[in-house]
A and B are shown apart, each in its own frame.
Chain A
């Protein structure tokens, strides 16, 4: 399934009946449909949305939302905002990819009457007003009919810059890995500033990875790694400059505006050690590290040179 225009959902299923033709939403009407929530989908290169409403009796309703995004990476990003829930397999094509060490391999997650799933460039949300075992079955049935034989898509290539090290005292919390383009999304995951101080937009790709100490008990402090890939090196340097001006004004003189050479450094701030690394069109930060050694350990798991910009 590549396009939501090709979709034909059943008129009836398990006693549910579809209410009229689907509602068609595009970027001009998405705010009418979901108010400020539209910003989320626009941040992930939204193309359009089909909304089907099923009812069963006077009180039960099921909403089927089929988002057409520009690329499979966008649907990964949407799913990555919350990896919790019951992983379910909707595809009839078995996945043969090796386990990903940076993020979960899930393509569909279910919980209390809500199914979220990705298939190619489609992102699906199926939400029932009330959950029962038979409602769950119907939701999964609809999900399977939508996903069909779509092959499992790999995660965005920027994830390949992170190569977990078995020697490190830090391990990746895979359930916290997220992919984004927008500072609004970044702020909803990890707040840096209300302003767009990293110059994020649709041409940039961002990755948030959380690390925890291997020996730490649950609930311990997480260190955060943010990696941004810019379209070209000057954009990455400009973003680092912007970051320093806003976040580390006392260190702003350490960045030369006319230089594109490799830059790295660290400093202690209110919530721990902060590190930065600029390498060509990549910019990476670590936050909330307990010491300088941890900054180095986290950055040692980032391999910029193995990746080419797309």
Chain B
């Protein structure tokens, strides 16, 4: 009998060798050449910053969003991210009025709240971007060539085929072939961030964690949505997914009163770190800065 290991298995995760098992074989030819310095991962010893901004008043009892409170939360993000207290200066530190900015929300399972999209759009308009230069940029048919900057705005949620379906997965439709990035191929989700039309354009990521969904789906079940009343923000997509995963996993264990691991394991996060060099996947390499309400933080 041929004795050959042919697949990544549960045992690889238990041993902590999943990334090794992945190897570099998944890299497409167009990426192999520059593996060493292709990503946006901070240098060794440098932590990634993830902001967790929460306000208990952002949702009414009916779970309707209080836009003013949400706007203040976005303001906290901009100040923490740029060091500027004045909002106009903060936005102008990340975006120029000459930019063409694509907003990339989540549309299914746990859609990004319209209020968040409106606030971001209004903020960009307020610093002088023409309305025509602010585009909804989720989907297969987006003209990425003309877009100079992306703001990723996914909803926090688990996913039945990839474990977690938030930041790294948010650009899946840019691949033109989303089914090629499910199952074992979810390891390759990171490569989409290296497509020439995508690479280097993401200047801000705000994860909508007002009402995350902690079950896998694939269809929405309201029993697994809960009012976390938060936004996660930063520029490291891997770190944001790692922190989102921690929140979701902790909520799942709390709901069941026993370990309820996300399954399948979200291999895309480790692959995005180890193979695609997009950011930090390990929590010890992430600075989590909490702003605002801290009850049931789950971190």
| A residues at B contact (CB < 8 Å) | 31, 34-37, 39-40, 82, 84-85, 111-114, 125, 127, 130-131, 184, 187-195, 197, 218-220, 241, 245-247, 249-250, 252-253, 255, 257, 269-271
Contacts and interface: CB of A to CB of B under 8 A. Distances in A.
The majority secondary structure among interface residues of chain B is loop
Contact of A193 (B1, B3, B7, B220): B7
Counting from the closest, the 8 A-B pairs by CB-CB distance are A37-B218, A194-B184, A195-B7, A219-B258, A270-B14, A112-B222, A193-B9, A246-B7
Nearest to B107: A35
B4 A245 contact: yes
A249 B4 contact: yes
Interface in B207-223: 215-223
Contacts of B220: 127
B264 A194 contact: yes
Contact of B183 (A125, A184, A241): A184
A39 B1 contact: no
Contacts of A39: 161, 182, 218
Contacts of B1: 241, 245, 252-253, 255, 257
A21 to B, nearest CB: 22
A114 B161 contact: no
A34 B219 contact: yes
Contacts of B258: 218-220
Nearest to A255: B1
Interface in B1-58: 1-11, 13-15
B94 interface: no
B292 interface: no
B221 A246 contact: no
B154 to A, nearest CB: 14
- Of the four ranges (under 10, 10 to 19, 20 to 34, 35 or more), the interface on chain B belongs to 35 or more
Given A36-B178, A188-B161, A246-B5, 18 more contacts: A37-B217, A37-B219, A111-B222, A127-B222, A130-B62, A184-B183, A187-B264, A188-B160, A188-B263, A189-B263, A193-B9, A219-B257, A245-B4, A246-B9, A249-B3, A252-B1, A253-B1, A270-B15
A188 B183 CA distance: 10
A197 B182 contact: no
Contact of B11 (A125, A194, A241, A247): A247
B68 interface: no
A190 B264 CA distance: 7
A125 B222 CA distance: 12
B161 A245 contact: no
Nearest to B2: A245
A100 to B, nearest CB: 22
B255 to A, nearest CB: 9
A252 B155 CA distance: 44
A111 B161 contact: no
7 contacts: A31-B179, A36-B159, A39-B161, A195-B184, A197-B7, A245-B5, A249-B3
B200 interface: no
Contacts of B183: 184, 194
B11 A269 contact: yes
Contacts of A190: 263
Given A111-B223, A187-B263, A219-B258, A36 B10 contact: no
Contacts of B215: 82
B264 A188 contact: yes
A162 B2 CA distance: 34
A114 B223 contact: yes
B249 to A, nearest CB: 14
A39 B161 CA distance: 9
Given A39-B218, A111-B222, A131-B222, A194 B7 contact: yes
A88 to B, nearest CB: 14
A245 B3 CA distance: 6
Contacts of A245: 1-6
A143 to B, nearest CB: 16
A192 B221 contact: no
B45 to A, nearest CB: 30
A61 to B, nearest CB: 12
B6 A246 contact: yes
B83 interface: no
Contacts of A188: 160-161, 216, 263-264
Contacts of A218: 257-258
B128 interface: no
A195 B179 contact: no
Contacts of B178: 35-36
Contacts of B257: 218-219
Contacts of A257: 1
A113 B264 contact: no
A108 to B, nearest CB: 15
Nearest to B263: A191
Contact of A253 (B3, B10, B259): B3
Contacts of B221: 82, 111, 114
Interface string B171-189: 0000000110011101100
A214 to B, nearest CB: 16
Nearest to A188: B160
B259 to A, nearest CB: 7
A120 B1 CA distance: 45
B253 to A, nearest CB: 9
B108 interface: yes
Contact of B8 (A36, A114, A194, A271): A194
A195 B21 CA distance: 13
